[in-house]
Structures are given as C-alpha cells and as structure tokens.
Amino acid sequence: MEKRPVGINDLFETKSVTNPVLSPNDEEAVVVVTEMNKEDNEYYSAIHHIDLRTQNVTQWTFGKQKVSVPKWSADGKMLAFLSNRTEKNQLYVLQTAGGEARQLTECKNGVGSFEWAPSGQKIWFSGSLKTGETFVSKEEAKKEFPQPVRVTKMKYKADGAGILPQDEFAQIGCVDLATCSVTNFTSEPCDHSLEAVSHDGEQLVVGVNRKENDDQDFSSPLILIDTATKEETVLVDEQGYFGDVYFSKDDRYIAYVGADLTFKNATQAEVFVYDQANGLTMNLTTGIDAPVGDDSISDHLQQAVAPGVVWTEDEQLYFQLSVMGDVRLYAATLDGAIYPATGEDEHVHGYDVASNGEFALLTVSTATHPGELYLQTIATGERTALTTFNENWLKKVQPVAPQAVQYMSGATEVHGWLLKPADYEEGKQYPLIVEIHGGPHAMYGNTYFHELQVLAANGYGVLYVNPRGSHGYSQVFVDGVRGDYGVGDYEDIMAGLDEVLAQESWIDSDRLGVTGGSYGGFMTNWIVGHTNRFKAAVTQRSISNWISFFGVSDIGYYFSDWQLNADMRDADTLWKHSPLKYAKQIDTPLLILHSENDFRCPIEQAEQLFITLKDLGKVAEFVRFPQSDHNLSRTGKPNLRVARLKEIIGWFERYL
C-alpha cells in the first residue's frame, strides 16, 4: 500500500504514549495513552498495563476521561492515579488483581498531586483550600452571584487558570484508604507543594514560600519535615526553581532538580543531592554544560510526565538531559561519574529504571515516529518495543525525515533541521516556510512535530533552527538572547535561511514564509518589520508591544526585566525592542492568530498590531480563538487546533 503524507486530521489518528512507571518488583509497568476524540472534541486517556515477562499489554481504565500520574503502592497490589471523571481531578485507587477503580477524594477544587505512604494504608496529596478551610469541610450548594475581586499582589493571574483566588492556598492532606477519611497536614496561608515521601514514611519534603509578599521573590524553598513532630530542616532556600525531589532507596540521600537565577530563567537546571548524614549538598551535574530535564517542544505529546531523577539500589541516579536537539537519558554516580544511557537523534520523553539498574523503560519519539514504550538493557543498549499504539497509523502514513543543518552565524554555530516537501521531485522548486519556536528558552528537537509535517505535506519546505536563546547548546548560548532580542537571534535565523538557500537549489527564494508562536510570534513580527524577504507571515500568540506587555501579561513585570534588562523605568528600551514600533516598515501580508484567554501573551498584543497595520493600509487579518489559552497549539480544543492549522495553510496558499 502506498503511504500518504501527514494530514491535519491525523491529530485524531496518532496516540500519545507517556509516563511509564515500573511496579516495585520491576516485573510490571503501566503507561498513559492519550488520544483526541473528534466527535466529543475532547482528549481522553487510559492506563495500560504491561507484563514485562510476557509483554502482554492490557487496558486497565476505560471511559471518557483523562487519567494521569499513575503510582504503585509499595507492595505493588494497588495503583493510584488522578482522573477528571467527576470534572475535577480526584484521587482514585484500583486493585492490581482486578476490579473497578475507587474514588478516594471529593476535594472541592480537585487534587493537584499525591504520593503513597509506604504502608500502603494512606496517601498524601495536595489541593487548594480557602484559609481556615479543611479538606473535609463542605459548603452547601447555593446560587452565587458575581463578586468583585480585590487585587493586592502582582501575581494575581496565570495563563490557563485565569484570575487566581485571592484567599486560596495549596495545602497538603492525607487520606486513609480504609475509611476515606481525610486530614489536613498543613494550614498556613501560603502555597505548599508535596514533593516526596521517604521510604520509611517518617519524612516529607515540601515546597513552601512563607514570605507574605512574593511578587519580587522567586524562591521555592524545599523543607524536610518529620511527619510525627513536624520538625523542619531546610534543604534549599535561594532564588530560583527547585523541585522534583526523590529519596534514595535507604533514605540517606535526597536528590532534587533546580536552577538558581544567575541567568534568570535562562539558567540551566542541575541535579543536586543532599546527604542527611552530614547535611552537605553536592551538585552532580556541574561538569555538564547542558540543562537537566526535557526542553524539547512538540505539539503531539500529551501529559508527558517524567521523573526528575530515578535512584537505583546502588545509588546511581538517572535523569533526562537536553542536548543538541536530543533528550537523552543520563546516569550519574555520587562520586561524580556521568555517562549517557541512550543514544542520539531521539526524544526520551518518559522513563523509569529498574531498582537493580539493569534495564530502563523509555517512551521515545523521533522526527518520524509519534512514540512508543520500549525496554532497554542498560549495559548493551539493546532495545525492545513493548507497545504498538501507533503502528497501524505508520503503515499508511509517511512522515518526512528532516536533514540536519549546521552553520555559522558570525562567530556563533547554530543547529537546525530542514524538511523537504512531502511531494518533492528533483528539479522542481518549492516555497519554504521558516518556523520559530517559543520560549525563547526551549529547543526544537528530534521529536515528532505534527504542524511541521502538515506544512511539508502541503508542498512546503520547512526550516526550523535553534537560534541563540535555545536550550541544549551551552549556558552561554541559552543566555545569549537576553538583552539582545531582535539582534543576535534575528541574525541566527536569517543566517540559517541564507545557508539553505545557498545549499538547496529546490527552494524558491521568491516564495518564502515565516511563522512562530509566543517568542516565535514576537520574532515573526520583528522579522517582517526588518526585512521584506518573506512574501507571507503568520504570527501566533505573539508579543508586539513590550510596554503594554509589562502590565498585562501574567509574567510581564519580571519577564521583561529578565529578558530585555528593562522595565517601565526604561520604557525607551522596551519600545526599541517592540515590533509595533516598526509597523510602518511591514509590507509582508500578515495573519495574526491569538487566543481569547491567553494570559501569557494577552490578546491585546494582537489587537494593537492588527489595528495599527490596518490603519497604515497594510495587508493583515486577525483570527481570534475562543475558550483558548496560550497553549492552543498543544492542548487546545481539538476543533480549534484543526481550525488553526487550516488558517496557517490557507494564508500561505494565498500568498505563496
């Protein structure tokens, strides 16, 4: 059977295989499989069980719901998970021997996270409560009228959440499995994150910032708490993000992942280990000039949850590392030895490691494969596929394989990829679209990206590169964009275009398009305001005016300072880096796509740009997406994701 190119509606054909978790005896595992339902316009997921001895795969949960973060009890007889089957995420548990899942919580605002107690008789969890409220308190249902919201802090809203409740905080509670009775463990009027439970059950690690006004405070202190006495030991308390905490098998060591603010939000994440025996902390990854974790972007993966680290019995630690477009599994020992455990040219977006360190479970995607679950022997690298959820789709569809691109932009080496059109024929010429990622501190990688494949399927070449500011190429490289927006990064992107035009005769230099979202939207706006080389552009969830962004974005008041080294005390610098300033120079037909409920790059950014361009007599159109936030292209309503792709293809068809 002749294979066809990737189509827009293949969004509904591919499945996202994520979050592999081994059972305590390392003989079983579960994964979460998510798919988009066209009829219901929703995302549904299910837990699948794998017997590693027989490699039999069995679906364990069913129904029109989302499930997430499955975790085994210490004896392996129960599996707990979160599900929105009653609208908000609640905690469920099922017997692994069989039977229906049982709901454990009825938290008014849902459950945020959870961890098993080692006894298997209770589960710790977190959820939001009003001050003075308990997890078991119930309010009578009553008709509620809209009320004004008094705002006293700058951190009062968040993309995806909207206006934040002013008198609610994340608290930690505990539910007894036998009785379903719930008790509160914390009650202070500040947010608590449940990070880890020791294997003996006597200690919790909790993240909590007790500062009354945290508008300019970006610390996330980690506190070790004795569950009986509530005595506290501070693990880390400095500006930056620290979390993903895991106890070693004997509870002596506590590993966590974090990054300080030396380079603001461009600081690469590291693995730290705290030794309870002597109170000392070591940085295990200080010798690696790459970020710990998964910084690769994709529009296919759903609920791609991976542990920050995994301990083995011999006190080795495994973790993800983002490097040169790959996300690889690495291992480290406490004496400082570090080595890669997986190869190149792929995206390891989920993993777990056997207690004895002999094998790992991996969920892996590549540029031409949406991903499956694999078992890999650590010593030999031998790999066996355990699932085939996307096998039938790949029998009828042929994604385009990218070719790597590497070039010099001045003195800076830049890396990227080039997709040829799916219908490519030698001797013909084709239009080219330059795609620019968001962040800017993220990276394009060797992973399946539906949007890029759809563009190639519609007869376009696609160039996507990692300019300065991207992760995976060194601390200097990722920091290189800060204070330099629209300069070095612009040069890197244009140098990549020049490189492929010089090397690839099939590209029609008179039919060039450019698009990107978030920071990529900013850069799209910037590019068309500084060159007329592109015949069409699509800007998505973009920034056009840094002055207004400062006050309307949920992160604007600090992100502007971190990225541009300027705030409202230096409006001239904000305006200098604003694409809106250069609107008179925009002659490229520009399609503006934006979500109504985007609090990260609010829709007023698009409104300003559109009205200004129309007032100047420019060619521009504006499409607004209802009920959508900043993540429309990744987690938005399925029908709106389809509509967005059709808008992009339609605009380029019209002008290229």
| Joined tokens for residue 176 | 């007894």
- Domain pair 74-135+156-393 / 400-655, same fold: no
Annotated catalytic residue within 45, 544, 630, 633: 630
SS3 category, 608: helix
- Domain 400-655 CATH (choose: 3.90.25.10, 3.40.50.300, 3.40.50.1820, 1.20.1050.10): 3.40.50.1820
Structural fold of domain 74-135+156-393: Neuraminidase (2.120.10)
Alpha-carbon span 343 to 328, nearest angstrom: 7
Q: Which 3-state string (H, E, C) describes 12-76?
A: HCCCEEEEEEECCCCCEEEEEEEEEECCCCEEEEEEEEEECCCCEEEECCCCCCCEEEEEECCCC
Q: Give yes or no: 73 in active site.
A: no
Residues 133, 89 contacting (CB under 8 angstroms) = no
Residue 137: pLDDT band (50, 70, 90) is low
Respond yes or no: is residue 548 known to be catalytic. no
Backbone φ and ψ of 458, nearest 5°: -95, 15
Start-to-end CA span in the chain (Å): 32
Ordered strands of the 28-37 beta sheet: 16-22, 28-37, 42-51, 56-59
491 in helix, strand or coil? helix
pLDDT surpasses 70 at 140? no
Q: What is the pLDDT of residues 165-197, one digit of tens each?
A: 888 999 999 999 999 899 999 999 999 999 999
pLDDT band at residue 138 using 50, 70 and 90 as cut-offs: low
Catalytic member of 23, 128, 518, 560:
518
Give residue limits of the domains in the chain: 74-135+156-393, 400-655
For residue range 263-322, what is the model confidence (pLDDT) as tens digits? 999 999 999 999 999 999 999 999 999 999 999 999 999 999 999 999 999 999 999 999
Q: Quick one: which of 80, 475, 432, 29 has its CA closest to 269?
A: 475
pLDDT digits (tens, 9 = 90+) for 573-608: 999 999 999 999 999 999 999 999 999 999 999 999
pLDDT (tens digit per residue) in 488-530: 999 999 999 999 999 999 999 999 999 999 999 999 999 999 9
